[in-house]
Amino acid sequence: MSIFPVILSQTKFIHQDSLKFPLEERALQFGDGIYEVIRIYSGTYYLFDEHIDRLYRSAEAIKIKLLYPKEELKQLLLELLKRNEVTEDGKLYMQVSRGSAPRDHVFPKDVDPNIYAYIGSQPRNLENLKNGVAVITQPDIRWQNCYIKSLNLLPNVMAKQEAYEHGCYEAILHRDGLVTECSSSNVYFVKDGKIYTHPATRNILHGCVRMAIERFARDLHIPFIEEAFMLEEIEEADEIFLSSSTSEVTPIITVDGKQISDGKPGAITRKLQAAYEKDAAILENSISSLV
């Protein structure tokens, strides 16, 4: 499946080859904007309301006033789905910048924000879900407002690249040994039947799948404790896993080359992924059929 050809640019639906970014686009010059990635299963957005709510929270946090009320934007994105005739799995990428204006650090006056959205391919990584992934640890050198889903991702990119160069899937980030999250996902520590993860403060992105996992854990009567853990605790974990819209609930089996527990995906991680698949109405290639 290739990238679908119709994109949303402001209120226009155009072919992707027709899109032209303004020369003085603040997203390009300053990273002055926000974004969302929404997973699509069988032609339906997953956690749609949660993502749209977070987009508006991020916009408010950096003082961008969106042109549309939430319901109008949602209708535009549903129309984008319809125009692309999406019936399979994929993802929506949506970006909002402060707008286009002569380059100046100060916010431009009387300039509307630019909004772009497109739908592309996002196959499920069944191998990772079945067998788990290896990760490394890296210092968290990002800014102090990670709860904003901003376009300023260079520290995340550098951490992810470091993981890639070590043959790993992700990088667990830490501030002076206190684990925050990963470069593009949230991370969880399981011990004695309890799930631990960093509180939803300014220092992490409040993941939409993270919110769903908290709900799944409650339904499964698994304690979900918003309490950060230290790097040195990782080797004592019964399970470690990560979550995001593109990774779902992925087991972590080694950290910095050290095996977690028996080196296999854990029972709680499996239960949460099964709950995710049920919630997202994933009928084919479910984790239960893979293990």
Res 18: pLDDT = 81
Please, what CATH class does the domain formed by 6-120 belong to? alpha beta
Helix ranges, the chain (H): 26-30, 48-61, 70-83, 126-131, 154-165, 208-219, 267-279
Instruction: List the beta bridge partners of residue 242.
Output: 187, 250
Res 76: pLDDT = 94
| Domain extents in the chain | 6-120, 126-289
CATH number of 126-289: 3.20.10.10
φ and ψ of 187, to 5 deg? -130, 150
CB 27 within 8 A of CB 97: yes
Res 290: pLDDT = 62
Q: pTM of the predicted model, to two decimals?
A: 0.94
Question: Residue length, the chain?
Answer: 291
Res 1: pLDDT = 35
Does 126-289 match 6-120 at the fold level?
A: no
Known catalytic membership, residue 149: yes
200-222 core/surface letters (b: 16 or more CB in 10 A; e: else): beebbbbbbbbbbbbebbeeeeb
Res 159: pLDDT = 98
Res 232: pLDDT = 96
- Among candidate residues 20, 63, 70, 149, the one labeled active-site is 149
Q: Which residues of the chain have pLDDT under 70?
A: 1-4, 7, 10, 288-291
